Amino acid sequence: MLENCQRHHMLLGLGALTVVTILVLFVESRYAAEGPRRREPQFVIEDNSTCWRNEKYKVVEECHPCSEFDIVSRSLGVCIHTHYKEVLRCQSGEIVTRSCDRVALIEQMNFLKFEVLCFVIGLLSYLVSYARDRILSRRNYMRIERQLNRVQ
């Protein structure tokens, strides 16, 4: 089926798919940002970390990955379940470490890496296919030329 498509039709279709993909990403990120807040984790975090549930708090350190030592040694209870933590300062002055979900920026970067990898693989596949097509076309042309030279 692709052999019957003209090049500009294929490029138009590829461009349309790219535009639709980007549009879906923008719409999804907008609704994800405006959607309901994340649900609270269902696991016990730490015994001393309840002040953030009852009081106002400020985020001292944004959600970031735990160190390998914290995960392996289980020295911080918050690092056991999600491997991410954030530091909060409650209104009472208490500083608490709480578990959090993966950082949105890390998720976006991983997704972009995946998209770039898929693009590179697709581009390489196209180049290999194009080169193979050119080789086969050249061989076919040479075969036809040899056949015509034999006839004359």
Report pLDDT digits (tens) over 57-100: 898 988 888 888 888 887 777 888 788 888 888 888 888 888 88
Number of Cβ atoms within 10 Å of the Cβ of 26: 10
Q: What is the pTM of this model?
A: 0.43
Report pLDDT digits (tens) over 7-29: 888 888 889 999 999 988 888 87
Share of the chain above pLDDT 70, in %: 84
Q: What are the residue boundaries of the structural domains of the chain, listed by start? A: 49-100
Which uninterrupted H or E stretch holds 133? Answer: helix 104-151
Q: Report how far residue 99's alpha carbon sits from residue 6's, in angstroms, rounded to the nearest whole number.
A: 54
5, 39, 73, 91, 119 from 61: Cα distances, Å? 55, 20, 22, 16, 35
- CATH 3.40.50.300 for the 49-100 domain, yes or no: no
